[in-house]
Amino acid sequence: MAIPKKPVVKSSPIGKVWKALQTIPLVVKEIPTLPKGKLLKLTCMFMGVSSLMYWISGPSNYFYIEKKSREAKLLNELGVRNISTANFPGTERTFRDNYGLDYMDTFKAMKSEAESDK
């Protein structure tokens, strides 16, 4: 007789997130009784996530803007005044009713040739 296996419960990613959120009160209650090593690990994770969120929302945006500003000043010093063309690439040719995709003219020419051959 084989050992019965537990049924596999399939849950969506939203269900997994909801399950994780439900365990937060239990984890918070256990914090005062954690050993020093686990408490240090939890504190380091909290500080790391906090620092990352601060970096993403503040200094990284500032450095990105400064980088683009330095690039623009350098291009200006090198004499590049206008970096775009008068017409956007791919739109040099003006619109002509069909762009060669309307085959009615071709069909009419073929039909008139067939009638003239008869």
Residue 45 is predicted with a pLDDT of 95
Contacts of 98 (CB under 8 A, 6+ apart): none
C-alpha–C-alpha distance, residues 89 and 103, integer Å: 27
Q: CA–CA separation, 91 vs 84, rounded Å? A: 13
pLDDT tens-digit readout, 19-55:
988 998 988 899 899 899 999 999 999 999 999 999 9
The pLDDT of residue 52 is 94
Question: Model-level pTM?
Answer: 0.43
Higher pLDDT, 31 or 9: 31
Judge contact between 56 and 49, C-beta under 8 A: no
The sign of the CA dihedral 92, 96, 101, 103 is: negative
Q: What is the pLDDT of residue 2?
A: 81
DSSP code, position 84: S
Q: Where are the domains of the chain?
A: 35-78
Q: What are phi and psi of 81, to 5 degrees?
A: -100, -45
For 74-106, how does the pLDDT look when each residue is reduced to its tens digit (9 = 90+)?
988 888 776 566 666 666 666 666 666 667 878
